[in-house]
Amino acid sequence: MFRSIVENAPACILAVDETGTVTYCNKSAEQLFGHRVKTVRGAPIAALMPGAEMRDGQLILATQHSDFGVNQTILETPDKGTRYLEVRQSRYSEDNGPLLNIVRLADVSLRVQAQMALRAQEQRWNVALRGSQIGVFESDLLTGEGKATDTWFHLLGVEDPEGHDSDALWHAGVHPDDRLRVIEADAACEDGLTERSETKYRILHKDGTWRTMHSVLMVAERDSMGKAVRLLGTMSDITELQQATDRARAREEELRQLIERTPIPMTVMTRGGRFLIVNEACERLLGYSADELQRQTLWSLTDNEALAELQREVAEMQDDGSGVHSSERVYERPDGTKVDFAIRVTKLSDNRRGRGYLVAQMLDITEQKRVDRLKDDFIATVSHELRTPLASISGALGLLRVKAGDALDEQSRHLLEIAGRNGQRLKELVDDLLDFQRLATGGLSLEMEPVEILSVVQQAVEETQPLAQKFDVSIQIETEDSLFRAEADPKRLKQVIVNLLSNAAKFSPSQDRVLVKVQRAGGDCHVAVTNHGRGISPEFRQHIFRPFSQQAVPETRDREGSGLGLAITKGLVDRMHGRIGYDSVPNERTTFWVRFPMSRDEGEISRRAG
């Protein structure tokens, strides 16, 4: 049994004969020295421990005296780096046989490294203490007396420290509610249960105010029995910091109460989506109590794919640095009911603590979505119901003008012309409403194909000529290269160009010229329509592509329109993967432009030509 204990002991045990050869080693020694030789047993001790030598059969090791009163040696290992080993030696002979040198090595690396770290920390403290407001104190536990630096006394308002005992002054001034807690923490350090005692407490200043102090205490000396006999510590005034922390906590509590009382569903979450603060409105929206929510994350509430997609989008938002994500989702409550909600997630960073938070605001838009669907259905129904009678009315008016035109008097013919124009205008309004409704609901189908841009522009110009003549405006096409194509729906592309040309003609001065420029722009086809009218006022620019928006100025009141043309145009361009924009200088010129990617075969032709 004794041999088994030695063999499996955590300390390394070696037996070295008078020639310096290892005759025995336990498992710990094999593990420690195994990287140096093929086998430890039978190896020369000098190969294992550099500096080892034999003198008259006695092993002499290269060691140094440590602060703990024992010899140490240093060994470099490939896996754990520098190892500090406590060395104990003895000699043993069995039955008057040859003497053996017994070496016991205990790994004390952690203890040494801790001591080195403490020394380094003390050095840093000494540097930091110079010129700082940190007081240093020392307590002699044998005599019960305390000493401290002048800074320590000044922190308590004592200008002349002469004759003052720092320990007595501390015990007399510390707040009664804090005294026992600090004494217990110091006692744990003295007993070796903790490395140091770090406490915060209130202490009475000479001016009669309570100051908050931060103190760090360590055992500086122990007797031979390990009992603490001298303590060393620091004290610093953190009153302002504590007051700021108290104010921050008060503001945090105010924020918590504000969120909880807000009628809009709100929650504060960790970056991983775990609920921290939840208000009642959020509980009602999600269908869980605050306690239930705080035990899980937003993404784990249901198996709803919409929440999984939201999680991916919020993660991307946190990574790309934008800091804000907004979207709409359909959520299924635990009782099975579904709710449409809009959510806005904002990323917040706590630089002091190195943490990140998410603030989510949610809005129940179920009723709004229902009303939107009713509105879309109403527009679609009304538009479809109006189309047939409008076509009949327009056809009847046209036939009447042809058949009975010469037989009618001037006033009757004039009335027929007014009715025909108004019927055509009403038809255009209905068409705009239908197109807008289809774009809004995703019901507009497109047939994408390579389209010759110039050919579409020419068709659009021809279709717009009657309107241009009405406003005494001419249209001119300018291009450098007529042979290029874009990926688009030809019918809808023509509608886009017609809308831009119509707007330009309507808002051009009489006898002006509208310029249509067609050209390449990198890998895109670029079409720009320019007129020289009043232009777009700065306050209207943010509304330019919104539905039912028209710039209300006296010069444009006689221009007919539904206010949907540019909204439809932008919707069509977006659906065809193009871009639209404008540049306007008031009372000088306005240019609306669209860009579409060139078709693949056109791009290939361009590369070959280059």
**According to CATH, what is the number of the domain 369-441?**
1.10.287.130
Please compute the mean of the pLDDT values over residues 364-369 and round it to a whole number.
86
pLDDT-derived band at 588, boundaries 50, 70, 90: confident
pLDDT of residue 523: 81
pLDDT of residue 166: 92
pLDDT-derived band at 591, boundaries 50, 70, 90: very high
- Does the pLDDT at position 559 exceed 80? no
pLDDT of residue 125: 61
pLDDT of residue 123: 63
Q: At 584, list the tokens.
A: 């306007």
- Give the fold, CATH level 3, of 2-112: Beta-Lactamase (3.30.450)
Most confident of 336-340, 370-374, 389-393: 336-340
pLDDT of residue 397: 73
Closest CA relative to residue 213, chosen from 150, 131, 137, 156: 156
Helices (H), 8-108: 27-33, 45-48
Cα–Cα distance for residue pair 356/126, rounded to 1 Å: 35
pLDDT of residue 608: 36
Closest CA relative to residue 544, chosen from 577, 584, 506: 584
Model confidence pLDDT, tens digit, residues 216-230: 999 999 999 999 999
pLDDT of residue 422: 72
pLDDT of residue 310: 85
Cα–Cα distance for residue pair 213/218, rounded to 1 Å: 16
- Does the pLDDT at position 66 exceed 90? no
pLDDT of residue 609: 37
Tell me the torsion sign for CA atoms 502, 508, 514, 518: negative
pLDDT of residue 200: 94
Q: Right CATH number for 131-237 from 3.30.450.20, 2.30.30.180, 3.40.50.150, 3.40.50.2300?
A: 3.30.450.20
Cα–Cα distance for residue pair 474/489, rounded to 1 Å: 27
- Looking at 42-46, 238-242, 436-440, 453-457, which range is the least confident one? 436-440
- Looking at 93-97, 332-336, 384-388, 507-511, which range is the least confident one? 384-388
As a whole number, the mean pLDDT across the chain is: 83
- Does the pLDDT at position 117 exceed 80? yes
pLDDT of residue 566: 85
CATH superfamily, domain 244-364, is PAS domain (3.30.450.20)
Q: Delimit the CATH 1.10.287.130 region(s) of the chain.
A: 369-441
DSSP string, 22-80: EEEE-HHHHHHHTTTSS-STTSBHHHHSTT-EEETTEEE---EE-TTSSEEEEEEETTT
Please compute the mean of the pLDDT values over residues 467-489 and round it to a whole number.
86
**According to CATH, what is the number of the domain 449-606?**
3.30.565.10
Closest CA relative to residue 539, chosen from 551, 521, 556: 551
In terms of pLDDT, which residue wins out, 345 or 558?
Answer: 345
- Does the pLDDT at position 387 exceed 70? no
In terms of pLDDT, which residue wins out, 211 or 330?
Answer: 211
Model confidence pLDDT, tens digit, residues 495-513: 899 989 988 998 899 899 9
Contact criterion met (CB below 8 Å) for 386 and 430 = yes
Q: Delimit the CATH 3.30.450.20 region(s) of the chain.
A: 2-112, 131-237, 244-364
- Looking at 163-167, 420-424, 484-488, which range is the least confident one? 420-424
- Looking at 177-181, 382-386, 491-495, which range is the least confident one? 382-386
Model confidence pLDDT, tens digit, residues 261-291: 788 898 888 888 899 888 888 889 888 998 9
- Looking at 87-101, 368-382, 449-463, which range is the least confident one? 368-382
**Can you tell me whether residue 204 is helix, strand or coil?**
strand
pLDDT of residue 8: 84
What pTM does this model have? 0.42
Q: Delimit the CATH 3.30.565.10 region(s) of the chain.
A: 449-606
